[in-house]
Chains A and B, each alone.
Chain A
C-alpha cells in the first residue's frame, strides 16, 4: 500500500470505485463542507475537495480536507499549480499528510482569467505532470524536489485528471501515458457524455497497457436542466455534449428527471468499458442527488475494506 487510503484499497482490490466532489465555501463556514460530507458520506469511497475551482477564491482545499475528514469522509486533496510555487506545494503536501490526508489530485487549474481575480499572476512554476513526478519522489525516495531528505514517511495516493474530449484527440492517450510514466496511481476524467468517443480513448489506453498501470475513474456531471446541458455544450471548454442528449432533454416533460435517467444510462455503459475502474461524480452544487444516483446505478452499499 502506498498510502493505505480507502480509495486505494477499493481500487487495488479491483472493486468499482465511486468518488464525488465538494467545493469549499466562499467564506469561513465549516458547516458547508460538513453538510456536503453528510450527503456524500455513505455513497462514495472518497470525496475531492476542490482547490479554488474555476479560479474563484474559496476556503483552502487543505482546510476543506481536514473538515471533511472530521465529518467522516475520506478526502482527495486537489492541488492546482496555478496558485502555488514548488515551495508552497511541497509545504502543503507535508501539512496535509500530517493532518491525515492521503489522496492527492494534481491539476494545472483553470486559467485565472475565468475566475474572480482575473488580474492575478498565474504561478505555473511547475506543471501538473511535474507535480505528479515531484509527489512520487517525495513518497518513494523521501526527498524534496531539490533532493533534500524529508523526515518521516510521506504516504500518498497520487491522482491526476485527464480530458479525453480535448484536442488533439490522438495525443490525449499519450498524455495519459505521460502521467503514468510520471507516477500517477489514479485518474479522474472530464465528464463523459460522448460515450463512443470515450470508449475509443479507453481502447487506445488499454492497447497501450495503461489499464494495468493506472485506475481510470470516468467523470460524470449530473444534468439538472436543459439550459445546463446547452451551457456545457456551448461554453465549458473541454466538454462535449452530443445533440442526442439535448434532444432527449428537449422532448422530456420533466428535464430534471430525464437528466438523471441520461446519466444512469451513461453510468451503465461506463461500467462495461474495459479499463474503467470507477466513476467520479461532480455534482457542482447538486450534491443531494449523488446518493440517489449511486443507489439507482446499483453501486450501493459501498464496500467496507
Chain B
C-alpha cells in the first residue's frame, strides 16, 4: 500500500508562507520519496525555490515514515532548527502533515506541501491505481476483487453502465471499465451467475458520510468499537 501524493503548485505554498521569514521543511522517506514528491531531492528543490523568493530556510529533514509515532523523536532531534522557523512546510502525505501538527503541540503553523491523492497499488512498474475507498463494508467478495466504488466512475454496484465500450470507460480511453474486468474475471472463474444477484444499497453511515471514524485498538482484544448510539438519537433529524 502506498499513499500517492503530488506536489502543490509553488504559488499555493508561497501564499501559506507569505508572512513567515524562516521556514523549516520536512519530507518523508516512505511514500512521498517513492512518488518523488517529498524525498530529499524534492525537499532541497523547495529550499532552493523558497530562498530564491527571499525566504530563509532554518533547516530540513526527511523523516523515515512521517505518519508513525517516531516522528515525535525526529522533531525533538531537530528542535533547534525548528525553533528558529516561523512555520513548517511538510512535504508528506496528509497523514504525515497531521501527525507532525499533533506532535508540534500547536507551537507553530504546519502547512502541507503536497496534495494527497489516493491509496494505490503499483499494478505495473511505475504506475499506481486507486483501488480502495476504505468504505468499511467491503464488496470485493462479490466483485472478483475489483472495487467498483473507486474503479467505476459512477461507483455502480450492479454492473456496467451503457458507456462501457471495448473494455474502456466512457470518461476516458485511458480508464479501463472496472465492470469489464469484473465480468472477465467472473467468466474466467466460472462465476458469472453471481452477477445476477442485485447488490443492495450501500450503508454509507459506516463510511465517509458517518462522521469521523475512530476505533480503539486493544493489544489483547483487538479493535474495540465505541458503543452504538441509541436509536432515538438517530431520529432527531
User: Which residues does A use to contact B, with CB under 8 Å?
Assistant: 82, 86, 108-111, 113-114, 122, 124-130, 133-134, 145, 161-163, 165-168, 171, 174-175, 177-178, 181-182, 190, 237-238
Which B residues touch A109, using CB under 8 A? Answer: 154
Q: Which of B162-204 contact A (CB under 8 A)?
A: 162-167, 170-171, 177, 180, 183-184, 192, 195-196, 198-202, 204
Whether, in the assembled complex, B159 has its beta carbon less than 8 Å from a beta carbon of chain A, the answer is yes
B196 is contacted by which of A110, A114, A174 (Cβ under 8 Å)?
A174
Chain A's nearest CB lies how many Å from the CB of B4?
Answer: 20
User: Which residues does B use to contact A, with CB under 8 Å?
Assistant: 153-167, 170-171, 177, 180, 183-184, 192, 195-196, 198-202, 204
Query: Which of A124, A125, A127 has its CB near the most chain B CB atoms (within 10 A)?
Result: A127
A124 is contacted by which of B154, B170, B180, B199 (Cβ under 8 Å)?
B154
> Are B202 and A126 touching (Cβ within 8 A)?
yes
> Are A166 and B164 touching (Cβ within 8 A)?
yes
Please report whether the interface of chain B is mostly helix, strand, loop or mixed according to DSSP. Answer: loop
> Are A130 and B165 touching (Cβ within 8 A)?
no
Query: Which of A82, A110, A181 has its CB near the most chain B CB atoms (within 10 A)?
Result: A110
A167 is contacted by which of B158, B166, B198, B204 (Cβ under 8 Å)?
B166
Give complex CA distance A162, B209 in Å.
31
> Are B159 and A108 touching (Cβ within 8 A)?
no
A125 is contacted by which of B171, B180, B183, B204 (Cβ under 8 Å)?
B204
A178 is contacted by which of B153, B158, B167 (Cβ under 8 Å)?
B158
Closest chain A residue to B200, Cβ basis = A130
Jot down 24 A-B pairs with beta carbons below 8 A, ordered by A: A111-B154, A111-B163, A114-B171, A122-B153, A122-B154, A124-B154, A124-B156, A125-B202, A125-B204, A127-B154, A127-B156, A127-B157, A127-B158, A130-B201, A166-B161, A166-B163, A166-B165, A167-B180, A171-B159, A174-B195, A178-B158, A182-B198, A237-B165, A238-B165
Which B residues touch A110, using CB under 8 A? Answer: 163
Query: Which of A128, A134, A171 has its CB near the most chain B CB atoms (within 10 A)?
Result: A171
> Are B170 and A238 touching (Cβ within 8 A)?
yes
Give complex CA distance A168, B180 in Å.
7
> Are B164 and A82 touching (Cβ within 8 A)?
no
Which B residues touch A238, using CB under 8 A? Answer: 162-165, 170
Closest chain B residue to A162, Cβ basis = B162
> Are A130 and B171 touching (Cβ within 8 A)?
no
Task: Given the known inter-chain contacts A130-B200, A166-B165, A167-B166, please indicate yes or no for A113 contacting B160, CB distance below 8 A.
Answer: no
> Are A133 and B198 touching (Cβ within 8 A)?
yes
